[in-house]
């Protein structure tokens, strides 16, 4: 009986998180550019932790993490799809990523990000502290930014 109640609560919590995790706006190219620039400017000249090489393989930047990094509370994903003018933003609580990385992948599915493909664990992100993880553009004018706070 107690196990069934716990399962219902768990499913309900996950459902609410999935429903609230991704927001979608239809925006102009100019508006999307302003939003993306504002996010990117917050990281200054810091390069992304992960980039793609010309063949599509991932390259992880070597870093010297801070001795005492600030704690990470969220993983954010912002994607602008130029073809349809859609601006998607996903917000995944870091504690959820630590506990249920496969389920966290489900939360960001609409953004086009494959968290597993990045090859970063919760431990990797905790050692880095808040940082820019990915800043990628596509040939069609789209862009994706992934970061932790």
- Average pLDDT rounded to a whole number, residues 69-75: 96
Q: Residue 65: what pLDDT? A: 84
Instruction: Say which residue, 16 or 139, is predicted with more confidence.
Output: 139
103 falls in which pLDDT band (50, 70, 90)? Answer: confident
Q: Residue 134: what pLDDT? A: 97
Instruction: Say which residue, 141 or 21, is predicted with more confidence.
Output: 141
Q: What is the spatial distance between Cα 105 and Cα 13, in angstroms, rounded to a whole number?
A: 16
Buried b / exposed e over 61-80, threshold 16 CB at 10 Å, is eeeeeeeeeeebebbbbbbb
Could you read off the pLDDT of 31-55 as tens digits, one per residue? 999 999 999 999 999 999 999 998 9
Six token digits for residue 146? 């992934």
Q: What is the pTM for the complete model shown?
A: 0.84
Statement: residue 15 has pLDDT above 70: no
Statement: residue 6 has pLDDT above 70: no
């Amino acid at each position: 009986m107690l196990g069934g109640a716990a399962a219902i609560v768990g499913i309900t919590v996950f459902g609410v998180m999935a429903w609230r995790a991704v927001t979608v706006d239809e925006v102009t190219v100019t508006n999307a550019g302003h939003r993306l620039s504002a996010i990117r400017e917050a990281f200054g000249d810091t390069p992304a932790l992960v980039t793609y090489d010309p063949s599509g393989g991932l390259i992880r930047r070597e870093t010297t993490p801070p001795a005492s990094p600030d704690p990470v509370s969220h993983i954010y994903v912002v994607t602008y799809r130029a073809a349809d003018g859609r601006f998607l933003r996903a917000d995944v609580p870091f504690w959820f990523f630590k506990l249920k990385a496969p389920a966290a992948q489900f939360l960001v599915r609409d953004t086009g990000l494959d968290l597993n493909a990045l090859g970063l664990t919760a431990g990797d992100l905790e050692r880095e502290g808040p940082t820019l993880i990915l800043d990628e553009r596509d040939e069609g004018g789209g862009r994706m930014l992934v970061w932790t706070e």
